Amino acid sequence: MRTRPTLSWSPSEDLPPATTDMEPVTDALSAGGVLVLSGAGISTESGIPDYRGEGGSLSRHTPMTYQDFVAGAQARRRYWARSHLGWRSFGRARPNAGHRAVAAFGRHGLLAGVITQNVDGLHQAAGSDDVVELHGNLARVVCLSCGAFSPRRELALRLEEANPGFDPVAAGINPDGDADLTDDQVGGFRVVPCAVCGGTLKPDVVFFGESVPPQRVEHCRELVRGAASLLVLGSSLTVMSGLRFVRQAAQAGKPVLIVNRDQTRGDRHAVTRVSLPLGTALSTVAHRLGIPVDRGGSEGPQPA
């Protein structure tokens, strides 16, 4: 049975109103020990759309599920054609002011860690260390048969060689790096096997319908246990992969602070939700704390 992604949620109770006051966030960061949990909303200013915000990709696009990917060659052909094209744009994304501010907080010893639900590698490109990639990273590829890992740039080269002239015009790029293509545009796209054993290649990301590795979840739980507070940045917390850490922090009596434009499934657990653009909001906090934020930052995970 195809596992459908959770498109939305409806609050069963009145949630506290949002604010534009970043003072509680500033105070929490000033005290230190803040664990950051980021979602797709922190990368929208880098040109990567989110899933569920205004104009989010789930309104037009259903991501590949793990069950579909492993079940049929046609589904894999469709996925890799769309992902190969999307990678050309996705891999060129650059860190924005939000990513750079988080990296600056880390450099100044204010963070207990960074957990990201994103697969874009932009926190690391901005300079954040020891980022836990809850859902993996599109810049890596894994073989489902032998378990070998390889860089995405190597696969991109092999796919270019196997599909000369493949350059359809996509309707858009999605948060998972998947370009919007029709079946006609996918056509006879050729998928390449693992260079080590000839097995099936998959991006090293957690698809919808696939579980986050238990050891990764436990590592995140350890980070929550060791943190003084939890700061959620740009996540609707609609799916349990992130919401469980919000619940854990709240149950332990640790303050949960959320910066997200729209209501989230974690609002009732939070001491505040700030509705502001993340880049501006976090840059303002850094300025208040006297922390310089780099204007640049390295490139994202580059395509070949």
Question: Which residues carry out catalysis?
Answer: 135
42 carries a ligand binding annotation:
yes
43 carries a ligand binding annotation:
yes
Per-residue tokens: 74: 């046609």
47 carries a ligand binding annotation:
yes
- HSE, CB side, 13 Å, CA atoms: give it for residue 35: 24
220 carries a ligand binding annotation:
no
Q: What span, in angstroms and rounded, lies between the C-alpha atoms of 68 and 78?
A: 11
Per-residue tokens: 77: 């052909």
128 carries a ligand binding annotation:
no
143 carries a ligand binding annotation:
yes
52 carries a ligand binding annotation:
yes
109 carries a ligand binding annotation:
no
209 carries a ligand binding annotation:
no
- HSE, CB side, 13 Å, CA atoms: give it for residue 45: 16
Residue 39, CA distances (Å) to 73, 82, 106, 182, 242 in order = 31, 22, 18, 28, 9
Q: What span, in angstroms and rounded, lies between the C-alpha atoms of 123 and 115?
A: 10
Could you give the 3-state DSSP secondary structure of residue 302? coil
Per-residue tokens: 14: 């009145």
Residue numbers in the known binding site for NAD(+) are 39-59, 117-120, 234-236, 278
Residue numbers in the known binding site are 39-59, 117-120, 143, 146, 194, 197, 234-236, 278
